[in-house]
Structure 1
Amino acid sequence: MDDDHALATLSALAHPTRLAAFRTLVRAEPEGLSTGQLVAASGLSQSTFSSHLAVLSGAGLVTSKKHGRQIIQRADIARLRGLMLFLARDCCNGSAELCEPLLADLACC
């Protein structure tokens, strides 16, 4: 991931509704959720929520797939991984052992 992609990804997540929706989708992996389920969880109208979903999709954080009559939304875990690696790559000036507590925290949850 380069700086531009990281900034686009972080920008998309820099809104409470979008961050909550993305976290909901991460928890729902690998099945994902229908758009209707996401709208219901958000408490917003379909039209308002769709603009947030478009931002997440545009940043590559969410993918959509038609399943019967529903559209299933899924978090792009590879994109999340790329962002996390981008942010932590230079952790502690390349001293990987100093980042071990961070990795341990991720492993426990």
Structure 2
Amino acid sequence: MDKLAAIQLMSALAQPTRMEVFLALRDRADGMSVGELAKLVDTPPNTMSSHLSILGRAGAVVASRSGRVVTYSVDPEAVAALGSFLSGKM
């Protein structure tokens, strides 16, 4: 991970709702849909989609589609890369 990617990931997580979503996804190996996440943090689904888009662009989450349902989950490789970058163990 380079410095810019680390900054983007940390910036995405520096917003309270996005951090709450990230932590919820971290604890759910099977992932969650936009609707589930929106209910969890009491946010409209379109707003949740925006948050998930930001997290996705930063590499924090990945999306998978099954029919009409998009499920989001944490990208463990990105989280590990950030930890390695911050600890200097690249």
TM-score band w.r.t. shorter chain: over 0.9
Compare the two structures and name the one with the higher helix fraction. 1
Deviation above 2 Å: which 4+ runs of structure 1?
A: none
Alpha-carbon distance in structure 2 between the residues aligned to 1:39 and 1:87: 31
Which amino acid is 1:89 matched to? Answer: G
Extract unaligned runs of 5+ from structure 1.
91-109
TM-score w.r.t. structure 2 length? 0.92
Alpha-carbon distance in structure 1 between the residues aligned to 2:45 and 2:61: 17
Please, what is the CA RMSD of the aligned residues?
1.1
TM-superposed deviation, 1:47: 1.4
Deviation digits for residues 17-74 of structure 1 (CA, Å, limit 9, x no counterpart): 0011011111102x11112111111101111111111100110111111123311101
Q: How many residues align?
A: 89
Structure-2 residue corresponding to 1:7 = 7
Q: Does 1:48 align with 2:47?
A: yes
Larger Cα-atom Rg: 1
Structure-2 residue corresponding to 1:38 = 37
